[in-house]
Amino acid sequence: MREPLPGTQDLARRLGSHAAVSRVVATRPLSPSLTEVELEGAAQTLTGQPGNDVMLLVDQRGTRMVRRRYSVRSVDLDADRYRLWVTTGHEGVGSDWARGATAGDEVDVIGPRGKVLVNAHAAWHLFVGDVSGLGAFYRMTESLTAPRQVLVVVEIDHPDDALTLALPEGVAITGVFVERRERHRDDPEGLLRALAALVLPAGDGHAYVVGEFSVLHTIVDALHDRGLDDSAISPKSYWRAHRANADHGEPERDR
């Protein structure tokens, strides 16, 4: 495998993370909106804890480098491989990369990244967002040891995006998939209604909210109204309706 580009190595140093090159093993369409990308190389170094993501160099235009971040869905350290669930139902640099990736392609990767990890002290875990969050939600859920209670509320663009997972006995999961139908991508109404219908379990729980920038802010407000304070909510906006993410992979922050 080649070395990561100098620009990638510099950025990783500044971020206090690691740079490496991984190779595409395979891509598999999972649903109309999601493609799984399996990568090989430096899995131990790059993939971190459940909730962490990796930053991929998905496009280079002269000196301009466009990077996108994807949560790690699963890791196989023995095979030195890891998988990402990438949204490919829209047109974008990252989704183009995932759709066009073929076995043997090499990609600069920086990781592990991200600060949202499982709150080990929580009595229950609530995951809220859109399909871009499923990879993170399911890796975090799979890391929980029984007995645990998990609630997952996800807005989907197509009925076949309702991907489920098999869990060990003792991890109780309630999954609610909300179809977006005619609603715009920055309309929080579907998730708000699903959340309002949800009975939160007793005890101190933790909510993880990811997805579209403005939807996320509305959901966080709704969780405050349900009695969760900021220490019990981990929000992270992944993308922003009507705007491409910045070249470093983050959605723009102005409201």
Ligand X SMILES: Cc1cc2nc3c(=O)[nH]c(=O)nc-3n(C[C@H](O)[C@H](O)[C@H](O)COP(=O)(O)OP(=O)(O)OC[C@H]3O[C@@H](n4cnc5c(N)ncnc54)[C@H](O)[C@@H]3O)c2cc1C
- At residue 88, φ and ψ (nearest 5 deg) are -130, 20
Instruction: Indicate which single residue of 25, 86, 109, 220 sits in contact with ligand X (rule: CB under 6 A).
Output: 86
d(CA 8, CA 22): 13
The verdict on whether omega for the bond into residue 4 sits within 30 degrees of 0, i.e. cis, is no
> Which DSSP category does 196 fall into?
H
**# of chain residues touching ligand X (CB under 6 A):** 29
Q: Does 240 bind ligand X (CB under 6 A)?
A: yes
Question: Considering the complex, what minimum distance in angstroms separates the CB of residue 79 from ligand X?
Answer: 20
71 lies in the site for ligand X, by CB under 6 A? yes
Residue 132 in contact with ligand X, rule: CB under 6 A = yes
Min CB(1)–ligand X separation in Å = 23
- Scanning 24-32, 164-172, 194-202, 240-248 for contacts with ligand X by CB under 6 A, the matching segment is 240-248
Tokens of 95: 């989704």
Is residue 134 within 8 A of residue 83, CB to CB? The reply is: no
Are 29 and 37 a contacting pair, CB within 8 Å? no
* Residue 90: CB minimum distance to ligand X, A: 4
- Name which position in 20, 30, 39, 85 contacts ligand X (CB under 6 A): 85
Q: Could you tell me how far CA 108 lies from the centroid of its own chain?
A: 19
Name the token pair of 134. 């499923």
Which residues contact ligand X by CB under 6 A? 53, 68-71, 85-87, 90, 92-95, 114, 132, 135-136, 185, 236, 238-245, 249-250
